[in-house]
Structure 1
Amino acid sequence: MSAPGRRPSGNGRANSAGRGSQASRPPRPRDVQPARRVAFDVIRAVSSSDAYANLLLPGAIRDAGLAGPDAALATELAYGTLRQAGSYDAIIALAAGREVAHIDPPVLDALRLGVHQLLATRVATHAAVNETVNLVALAAGRGASGFANAVLRAVAGRTAEEWLDAITAAARSDDERLGLRHAHPVWIIRAFRRALAAEGREDELEALLDADNAAPEVTLVALPGLAEPQDPRRPYAVTAFGSPGGDPGAIVAEHRGRVRVQDEGSQLVALALVGAQPVRPGERWLDLCAGPGGKTALLAAEALRAGASVDANEVIPARAGLVRRAVAAVPADVEVLEQDGRELAAERPGRYDRILVDAPCTGLGALRRRPEARWRKTAGDVPELAALQEQLLGAAVDALAPGGLLAYVTCSPHLAETAAVVSTVLRDRADLEELDAREVLRAVSQSPIDLPAPASGSGHAQLWPHRHGTDAMFLSLIRKIG
């Protein structure tokens, strides 16, 4: 075994073992356990093609015929590796004695997968090393596999805690130390701290980071009036499907889409739009940014029971197709439009009694479900998104009828995408009032929810993974005076 910190030979490049026919000879076929192969293929697609793991992995598992423990292993390996990639890169750089930028991407992805098995799972050391070396041999050649073997054996020489101490030893700030230890970019650490501080709960930061790195429970929704919830205390959330990361496909298929996967936070913010004030028959509702359609289906089911109608809009055609699939289980006529939401709202002044603005955002509230998202977004993405959010919200209030209600929602706790957007729009409009979203959420959830009032005194609500077990959904409820 290589001593920790000793520089492995080779450079992680394909065919780096030597020259001539020996180096160019293709590697002998080697068996790789199917769950690891699926995880590696998904990680490679995320790295090389900007694929989304949560969209790709279920199909990859089905195509490989994985089920039960094998499917669970593939899920844990893929998601766990992607969540912790930043920390693993720092560990690999120390173990290899070089920056990860100088390691071939397929080799680096395999090393990340191997490091995750060594430091974060109960996989035996020999299995983690051997299977990863075989993956590297298939992906990049036998020369690169020798390099991978040396790096992994160096990693195996220390515990996870020892490696975390090693990579944080040279951190230049507390935020950088937290980022390395908890696998979050520094800019996200700072955004989370500010959002928690707005509630006087900055001391919860590390609990939030830990929650982001834990596999979330799979939660289903029973569409109201169309399927029965399992827990009457939570009328629409069919909670705790099996183990974290489990595949609820059989239940969804059995109920023909009337029971579906949906985070409970997403359910609550959609139901708040319905529960904030009584529904009058004949109301018209709009889901302005509807893709992929989960909240649209929930609203459509509620509208069907109340005698209301729903329009849905999604500017991206592929996502509009997902909306149509989502609402197909609801026996109601939902018109799905494909326009820029700002333009559609401008064309329909005063038409809608309720509008959901689930605005495009950084997605920082769903990092536990979208493991690669934390490494894709940057602080530079926020100003453009915030400007779009203000425009969408401003346009939506023009499409709201007098007395109508609007829910502004983001799957992000970043203050620039949440409180700042709402305050900017409210400041410029004398015909709007913000309701107490916290009280509405408590009412629709039918259970106590710890929702402290922001220091600003505004009425919005923020859900959190570490506190509520949901994605970090933000909700502001706005009524048009008239």
Structure 2
Amino acid sequence: MTGPGERQYPRPVRSGPGSEPGRGDRRRDPRDGRDGARPGGDRRGGGRTGRTDVVDRPRRAAYDALAAVHRDDAYANLVLPAILRDAGLYGRDAAFATELTYGTLRAVGTLDAILTDAAGRDVERIDPPVRDALRLGAYQLLHTRVPAHAAVSATVDLVKTVGYGASGFANAVLREVAGRDADAWIDRIAPSMADDPVGHLALAHSHPQWIVRAFREALGGDLGETTRLLIEDNQPPPVHLCARPGLADPAELADEVGGAPGAFSPYAVYLSGGAPGDLPALAQGRAHVQDEGSQLVAAALAAGPLDGPDGRWLDLCAGPGGKTGLLGALAVQRDARVTAVEVAEHRARLVERATRGLPVNVLHTDGRTVGADPKLPEEHFDRVLVDAPCTGLGSLRRRPESRWRRQPSDLPPLTRLQRELLTAGLRATRPGGLVAYVTCSPHVVETHVTVTEAARRCGAPVDFVDARPLLPAGMPGLGAGPTVQLWPHRHGTDAMFLAVLRRG
């Protein structure tokens, strides 16, 4: 007999007849959880008719996305668009499903602690399908304006389709959750700020404690600023475009797409919404989707002062090609060429597509083979970008499941790889050339420790270049230098780290 928490997820239940777009006017109102129930019953998700084969479609889509993330280690940004498309969800329904999916994934740690208390048993002992449905219900109760009765009823209807007779249990747990608001639950389950600030912040803002400690250390121990960062980390991220220099004017692109020019990067355009993949400018290669922070650190390498030749540029970890695309467009204006290295074959193909028509040569090889691969000779390149693989703690806004998947044990192999790649990048740089080391993580062992160790092991003189003047004038909060750490709560960007080194 299967024990608690041991059952497997059922196969996704697709919406039944009559659920396709345009079939009647039964769109759900996201404010009250209803979908246009007819008098007398036939309400989606069970209801009076006893139908349990079909549930509210936006909530079902969110559930299917959560199940894929937790069952298959999928990524929400990859699976959710296909789920929405298959379900025929657009407009407000798609937005509601997206909010439920991403909001629940961000809040999983805190939701699980609340559900454990409300259920009187560890959340890990609850069958996985029921657990994900309860997470969705608790998120609606605590973090949306959906009325409590609608959130409970819709979630119980969902549990009827996935939970093997667990609807009564789900109803009792959710009614317990509904008895307190989010702040009252934090007061109940979290330690006090005075006794355990890291533990309190971790539950209050739904981040693992080790990540809270890493952020606090990177921010110099400032708890107030750490709190602001955690709050910002839980906000839906903006969509930024990069107007490729020489191919698109940012102001004109902003008018074309209904956006606004960026605050800092001269190439950035902020989108107010919509699907960026549908924009003609992207299909035509005039722009690409790229966080403003990524634009700033790539452009900083091109802006660094350099004596001697300046026509050979190297991107040592190029996939999927956003920074390479910007460097390639800048290279056109400078009569330079970019060699783009990517170790993963599928990502190398992405780089080729992203840089089509630009002076970029893509190599499918390991960036650490500098000196051993004739295509990557030592002391050859004038400018080198080392955008090293990292924990991605600086982009948790965009990948909500990442905060729960990453572990401190991931750091040793990653930091070893980062040192090896940066050392290889320094070897590939000619004397007097520049290397930009970039990570999308503020963790000090991935930033300052890695850079210091790689510079020490290089075997050649290496000097730090002050990176602050290489960013647009007037940017606030850049610190004392010579390295730069960007932050979501200070700059509205991902938490990108930049160090610029000159090979002696």
TM-score by length of 2: 0.83
Q: State the match for 1:372 in structure 2.
A: 401
1:427 aligns with 2:461: no
Q: Which residue identity is paired with 1:382?
A: L
Q: State the match for 2:159 in structure 1.
A: 136
1:94 aligns with 2:117: yes
1:123 aligns to what SS in structure 2?
coil
Cα shift at 1:279: 9.4
Report the number of matched residues. Answer: 446
Q: RCO higher in 1 or 2 (8 Å CA, sep ≥ 6)?
A: 1
1:84 aligns to what SS in structure 2?
helix
Q: State the match for 2:131 in structure 1.
A: 108
Match 1:249 to one of 277, 289, 310: 277
1:401 aligns with 2:451: no
> Does the CA-based 8 Å contact 1:465-1:471 persist in structure 2?
yes
Match 1:265 to one of 293, 297, 302: 293
Q: State the match for 1:355 in structure 2.
A: 384
Cα shift at 1:62: 3.1
1:80 aligns with 2:103: yes
Instruction: Pick closer, same or farther for the CA change 1:49–1:391 going to 2, 3 Å.
Output: same
Instruction: Pick closer, same or farther for the CA change 1:306–1:207 going to 2, 3 Å.
Output: same
Counterpart Cα distance in 1 of 2:281 and 2:88: 18
Q: Which residue identity is paired with 2:301?
A: L
Instruction: Pick closer, same or farther for the CA change 1:14–1:459 going to 2, 3 Å.
Output: closer
Cα shift at 1:258: 2.4
Tell me whether 50-59 or 385-394 shows the greater mean CA deviation: 50-59
Say what the alpha-carbon RMSD is for the aligned residues.
2.4
Q: State the match for 1:238 in structure 2.
A: 269
Cα shift at 1:363: 0.5
Q: Deviations over 1:208-227 (max 9, x none)?
A: 11111111111111111111
Counterpart Cα distance in 1 of 2:293 and 2:405: 23
1:310 aligns with 2:338: yes
Cα shift at 1:430: 4.5
> Does the CA-based 8 Å contact 2:5-2:124 persist in structure 1?
no
> Does the CA-based 8 Å contact 2:370-2:378 persist in structure 1?
no
> Does the CA-based 8 Å contact 1:252-1:259 persist in structure 2?
no
Match 1:449 to one of 476, 481, 489: 476
1:357 aligns to what SS in structure 2?
strand
Aligned ranges 1:82-481 → 2 under 5 Å: 82-141=105-164, 143-169=165-191, 173-197=196-220, 201-230=222-251, 231=261, 234-239=265-270, 241-243=271-273, 246-251=274-279, 255-277=283-305, 283-328=311-356, 331-344=357-370, 346-347=372-373, 348-428=377-457, 429-443=459-473, 447-453=474-480, 459-481=482-504
2:384 aligns to what SS in structure 1?
strand
Q: Deviations over 1:92-138 (max 9, x none)?
A: 00111100110111111111111111110112222222222222222
Counterpart Cα distance in 2 of 1:281 and 1:61: 51
1:405 aligns to what SS in structure 2?
strand
| Unmatched 5+ stretches in structure 1 | 1-9, 16-26
Counterpart Cα distance in 1 of 2:101 and 2:159: 16
1:88 aligns to what SS in structure 2?
helix
Counterpart Cα distance in 1 of 2:306 and 2:63: 50
Counterpart Cα distance in 1 of 2:336 and 2:121: 62
Instruction: Pick closer, same or farther for the CA change 1:64–1:284 going to 2, 3 Å.
Output: farther
Cα shift at 1:64: 2.9
Q: Deviations over 1:9-42 (max 9, x none)?
A: x968879xxxxxxxxxxx9434323222222111
Instruction: Pick closer, same or farther for the CA change 1:312–1:462 going to 2, 3 Å.
Output: same
1:161 aligns to what SS in structure 2?
helix
Identical-residue share of aligned pairs (%): 55
Counterpart Cα distance in 2 of 1:232 and 1:12: 47
Cα shift at 1:66: 2.6
Counterpart Cα distance in 2 of 1:286 and 1:376: 32
Cα shift at 1:312: 1.2
